[in-house]
């Protein structure tokens, strides 16, 4: 009986260690995504998204809300940096329900774009056509 308890405790402790390692690894994998978006490097962003999907089985909409660049979401960062290629790629890859949902500050992307006066930005135009 004591052997079963010790084995169970060891298995539970090991699962916590592996869970923490997986979380750290995904953070390392997404570490430079902000600089890729700001540089408008569509090929590198595509490669990064493919790697995260194959290694962690996560699509863009799975980690989009958890990653911020200077307090802004990934698409907002692309709009502010006029990164048309990477911004339109992300808009095309995201489900429309996620694109029209409020972000962390409570504003939808469309409301934020209108507030900032960026409605003529090509990414904003692509976003409007998708929603």
The Cα–Cα gap between 47 and 52 comes to: 9
Range of the domain at 44: 32-130
What is the structure's pLDDT at 56?
86
Is 98 within the bounds of a domain? yes
In this prediction the pTM is: 0.72
Question: What is the percentage of the chain residues whose pLDDT exceeds 90?
Answer: 5
Is 18 within the bounds of a domain? no
pLDDT tens-digit series, residues 64-94: 888 888 888 888 889 889 888 998 988 888 8
Is 24 within the bounds of a domain? no
pLDDT tens-digit series, residues 5-34: 444 444 454 444 444 444 557 777 777 888
Is 74 within the bounds of a domain? yes
Q: Which two tokens stand for residue 1?
A: 């009986």
Is 72 within the bounds of a domain? yes
Question: What is the percentage of the chain residues whose pLDDT exceeds 70?
Answer: 82
Query: How many domains does the structure of the chain reveal?
Result: 1
Is 8 within the bounds of a domain? no
Is 48 within the bounds of a domain? yes
Distant-in-sequence, close-in-space partners of 88: CB < 8 Å, separation ≥ 6: 122, 123, 126
Per-residue confidence band for 4, with pLDDT thresholds at 50, 70 and 90: low
């Amino acid at each position: 009986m004591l052997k079963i308890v010790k084995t169970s405790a060891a298995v539970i402790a090991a699962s916590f260690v592996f869970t923490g390692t997986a979380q750290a690894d995904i953070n390392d994998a997404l570490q430079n995504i902000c600089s890729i978006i700001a540089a408008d490097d569509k090929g590198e962003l595509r490669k990064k998204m493919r790697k995260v999907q194959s290694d962690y089985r996560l699509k863009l909409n799975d980690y989009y809300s958890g990653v911020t660049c200077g307090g802004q979401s990934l698409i907002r960062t692309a709009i502010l940096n006029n990164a048309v290629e990477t911004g339109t790629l992300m808009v095309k890859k995201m489900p429309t329900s996620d694109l029209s949902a409020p972000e962390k500050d409570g504003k939808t992307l469309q409301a934020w774009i209108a507030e900032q006066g960026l409605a003529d930005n090509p990414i904003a135009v692509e976003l409007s056509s998708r929603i």
